[in-house]
Chain A
């Protein structure tokens, strides 16, 4: 499998690439230092033609052996170069108390993905939106963390006032 993207990162931003390896399917992965992720995203998008942001997710490594638990989270980025038909697979490792610079300024589509990662894993993106995207505002915790209780149930929520629906004279959103 092609290592074009990682070779270029290694040549142009050697300080950003912490580690590179091939997974068991033979795909090349690069671990990026978290403070350099914006530079790497810019390089990939503007110079190397990886213009398509595919997706982004996170892995909670709390269930792994102790030596692999620090740092706790791996945030995974997938970018694609359509002309070359190649993927760039990047990872950033962070602990709970650290944050990652947002790449939403480079790839606008990453905004929702970062909100998703914050919603479900609690990884903070500096400069990004800290707002839930799928769960509701009243939800406590981050449900895809490994230490979220399996049978954890939360209270029912009341209906949210909807300001732009007129429900009759004298009402403002939800009536009590």
Chain B
């Protein structure tokens, strides 16, 4: 994973730190992908399917996303479950902004992904117009197996991200809601 940034000529020290950094990154990725605290932002019928995913038969906790936290401050995975209309969009934006980094977003179902068949005056045509999305799960509503598949995709993504230890990165710039609203 670090091939893209490795210099062509390396010293023994670079090699050693690169190796260490790699191991730490993998370890952190492994730890993070199995300890996702989800914030289910359930607004519509997809919420039923979320309940099914979280309950005993499909059991999302087998994949490490055990705890639904009902405070965005304690969560690092935002599950946007259901239709988001234009009146609700600022609230969703606020919830996303309240989550602490690192954070990921899953658009659960077609309404959250693209507006679905609500192609009308009241509905936000996909939450990616206001917040960044990592995984889109299609379906109206998606089967629990699809959701678990989407979660595993996100886990792969988290595992393959480059995690830094003791390296203060600037907080990633995200477009402010007011910038988007001004457009």
Contact = CB atoms under 8 A, between A and B. Distances in A.
Contact of B90 (A143, A151, A158): A158
A121 B153 CA distance: 46
Interface string B65-90: 00000000000000000000011011
B16 to A, nearest CB: 45
B117 interface: no
A136 B89 CA distance: 12
B119 interface: yes
Interface residues of B, number: 19
B97 to A, nearest CB: 10
A154 B121 contact: yes
A156 B129 contact: yes
A156 B86 contact: yes
B93 A154 contact: no
A158 B89 CA distance: 9
A148 interface: yes
Nearest to A136: B87
Contacts of A143: 120-122
A156 B87 contact: no
Given A155-B181, A156-B86, A156-B177, 15 more contacts: A135-B87, A143-B120, A154-B86, A156-B89, A156-B129, A156-B130, A157-B87, A157-B89, A157-B181, A158-B177, A159-B91, A159-B93, A159-B94, A159-B177, A160-B90
Interface of B: 86-87, 89-91, 93-94, 119-122, 124-125, 129-130, 177-178, 180-181
16 contacts: A136-B86, A136-B87, A143-B122, A152-B121, A153-B121, A154-B86, A155-B181, A156-B129, A156-B130, A156-B177, A157-B86, A158-B90, A159-B91, A159-B93, A159-B177, A176-B178
Closest 8 CB pairs of A and B: A159-B90, A143-B121, A156-B181, A136-B87, A158-B181, A152-B121, A156-B89, A158-B178
